[in-house]
Amino acid sequence: MQDRSWWFGAALSGALVVMAGAFGAHALEGQLAPRLATAFETGVRYQAWHTLAMLTVLAWRSSTPLAAQRLALGLWTAGIALFSGSLYVMALTGLGGLGMITPLGGVLLIGGWLALAVAVLRARP
């Protein structure tokens, strides 16, 4: 995937964060059990932080492109989809079985951070 595609994906994720946050704060206010509302908010928060991390890595890639950066971007993208996505669906539908997917997404998010650590180690000072 070229960096232009990564930029597009990160921008789309940022837009989705704002929409999900607004939806959660306004349309869902008082509609969900507290546990489900917290799960939805957690999904928004993790998506927001990882979208910001993606934008930061993309900015770094413009001067120092490394393969491990692309790995981090890919892991974060998959992690957002599985972690935040499963929390959104679980909160909106009440399907508790999706909770088994959430930790897998978390592992992918952690893997992205570890890939970023490798990228830092491989970068020339």
Q: Which alpha helices (H) appear in the chain, and where do they start and end?
A: 3-22, 34-61, 67-79, 85-93, 101-122
The DSSP symbol for 95 reads -
Dihedral Cα 112, 116, 119, 125, nearest 10 deg = 180
Whether the predicted pLDDT of 80 surpasses 70:
yes
pTM: 0.94
- pLDDT tens-place string over residues 4-44: 999 999 999 999 999 999 999 999 988 999 999 999 999 99
Whether the predicted pLDDT of 1 surpasses 70:
no
Q: What angle do CA 40, 115, 71 make, to 5 degrees?
A: 80
Q: What is the predicted pLDDT for the residue at 75?
A: 98
Segment 81-86 shows an average pLDDT of 97
